Structure 1
């Protein structure tokens, strides 16, 4: 008997999960409130970089965020508000800002993402055109000391086969490796083997592949309610009508939290707002670059544009674009590039990233429900972890057994009824 699964969410995570389910023989339906790939899966940096799939809570972040409360231009900005759910989340988040929690999270995400490049290669071999470019990632800083934390993180990951930089580049050697850097940049290193892509092509590639296996895709269909009885979801009430369901995967990014409320389940998860825009420099970077002190990243795209992205703003679930954040990214990036174009920018974008209180993905069965699953909480690593998430979630749903890489991400740790 064919297993039927309805996936709510048409971003990279939802579509990858739907794809692997279809490959495993499930009858799949995808429901997306807007268009596939239109949310956080569209305007992000497009990095496929397992070495960056680290939890955001880390030692020193509490004092950093307290200093940033009065500065909306800070790379990480908490907008304090009298919201009990936000307060509960913030308390748990700050409790995870220590070395022990960070190391545990690093090992968990490293294990989850260690086959990322192999999985993408396998998908490409099946004819899915993502347009992936595997040119590595360049980490740079105005001061060499700003790279120390990144080097420490990579040393942790070396046990999982992740690449270590061959050498720290300085002076003429650094600027020869990347001519677009300004003279203020003094040090850097390349993480070989990492990749990048126009992120919109990830969602479109998965959606096209689903069309070839007769999976149903409903765009412009917003879920208004989830009917449930005796620990089972029975139907979805949507703007396109009522759908009966056998199994449901909630994979709507930051909007998964209000969906879970329809089941009387609270997720300790907040929406982390990210910003990006495009510039057209006379010379594009040779590869993606991470600017150490400003936490801004740039990614060369195939149309002559360079995407500039950054910031994590905790101000609730909304898509208001704060121009101060755009200006802060421009200021933070311009000092690293020798040829910053005029003030004209294109494609200003804001999107919501799902950020769990411990900074880790939320993957697995919803406590108290037999047939409802969560695939969310990937923060800034959704493009990177989409294939692994889809593969392991498909395994869980089709067999009923939790694959070991999913164990640290069980929803029970981060949900309450």
Structure 2
């Protein structure tokens, strides 16, 4: 009999888990409270990178996941990954140089570029810096479309998708998690994977498991569609911007977006004005809409993957960098659930490490 696994949550992490589990031969049921794709994924800037984040173990995990994105894109062409490269100059010069030197020492292919080359990489920057750093292998993806492609591919492998099916609590028998309680009753499984973003802590708490997470808000603006103005990702001081496949310029104060602090309209107008000043050809483009995401982030800032408190039948994946890490975490979690083998890259990311419980 195949192992029956419930995945709670269908954002980019849950979708990757579902596909990797189904490919490994599991009988998979994806339970989603809202529409397929979840909530946080829809509001992601969707930068696939290893340029952000310390310490070194987190960098190595992100670098591995960039390689897994290439593998996954080869198996699911509809993911639409754009290996466009990233231009980084959002730190003071000395700090930026030190940051780049550290990444280079860790094996990251980051290189310094001067103003002339910056103009070749992004000819529509109105005021390019004297120098920046460029990472050719960075990418972007349309996050909701990618999650939907993964879910569709999982369904094609036999997974069942249950949208608009809120989980009320985790079901437990004799200390073992045996599934989830929904409005229609209990859905049973051999393993239950909680990848429910901001709702993760509450669901774990229903079986007496504590996982401390925060959910900082982040606002991103989306312009009206325009002809191609940017070739890749641009990380400038106080403004990160990229152009989507349909031509919208998506911007935030950084890749996570800023907390609007009850003044989303003013922040969005300010960001859009900065975009139109920064990018030649964007003047008068106008704001179409903005998104407000709540990023599920373990209390110490780093991913939490594994069996919390060693609970049998229960596994969880919570991380802020969901888009970057989805392929690696989906693969690693599926392998551990199906075989018991834990990838060494997850050594420092247990969900019951000090500070999270």
Residue pairs, 1:16-95, within 5 angstroms: 16-52=16-52, 54=53
Distance 1:401 1:142 in 2: 40
Contact 1:141/1:187 (<8 A) preserved = no
Match of 1:289 in 2: 234
| Residues 225-279 of structure 1: CA deviation (Å, up to 9, x unaligned) | 2222332112311134321222111001122122112122222210021211212
Task: Quote the offset at 1:163 in angstroms.
Answer: 0.8
- 1:399 aligned to 2:339? yes
- 1:123 aligned to 2:123? no
Contact 1:249/1:374 (<8 A) preserved = yes
- 1:371 aligned to 2:313? yes
1:239 to 175, 179, 183: 183
Residue pairs, 1:379-398, within 5 angstroms: 379=320, 381-398=321-338
Query: How many corresponding residue pairs?
Result: 352
- 1:207 aligned to 2:129? no
Match of 1:348 in 2: 290
Match of 1:305 in 2: 248
2:206 to 258, 262, 267: 262
- 1:274 aligned to 2:222? no
Distance 1:382 1:204 in 2: 15
Distance 1:22 1:184 in 2: 47
Distance 1:314 1:407, change over 3 A: farther
Distance 2:356 2:215 in 1: 16
Distance 2:67 2:310 in 1: 35
Distance 2:90 2:167 in 1: 45
| Residues 126-162 of structure 1: CA deviation (Å, up to 9, x unaligned) | 244111111211113596446335414423532xxx2
Distance 1:223 1:230 in 2: 20
SS in 1 for 2:178: strand
Distance 2:338 2:2 in 1: 10
**TM-score, scaled to structure 1:** 0.78
Task: Quote the offset at 1:389 in angstroms.
Answer: 0.1
Flag structure 2 segments of 5+ consecutive residues without an equivalent.
none
Distance 1:343 1:121, change over 3 A: closer
SS in 1 for 2:295: strand
- The answer to which of 117-126 and 130-139 deviates more is 117-126
Residue pairs, 1:134-173, within 5 angstroms: 134-141=83-90, 144-145=93-94, 147-148=96-97, 150-158=99-107, 162-165=108-111, 167-170=112-115, 172-173=116-117
Distance 1:10 1:349 in 2: 19
Distance 1:224 1:210 in 2: 24
SS in 2 for 1:330: helix
SS in 1 for 2:106: helix
Contact 1:138/1:288 (<8 A) preserved = yes
SS in 1 for 2:145: helix
Contact 1:141/1:186 (<8 A) preserved = no
- The answer to which of 178-187 and 390-399 deviates more is 178-187
SS in 2 for 1:346: strand
Distance 1:256 1:412 in 2: 14
Task: Quote the offset at 1:32 in angstroms.
Answer: 0.7
Task: Quote the offset at 1:42 in angstroms.
Answer: 1.6
1:412 to 346, 352, 357: 352
- The answer to which of 391-400 and 122-131 deviates more is 122-131
- The answer to which of 145-154 and 258-267 deviates more is 145-154
C-alpha RMSD of the superposition: 2.4
Contact 1:270/1:314 (<8 A) preserved = no
Distance 1:333 1:143 in 2: 20
- 1:362 aligned to 2:334? no
- 1:177 aligned to 2:121? yes
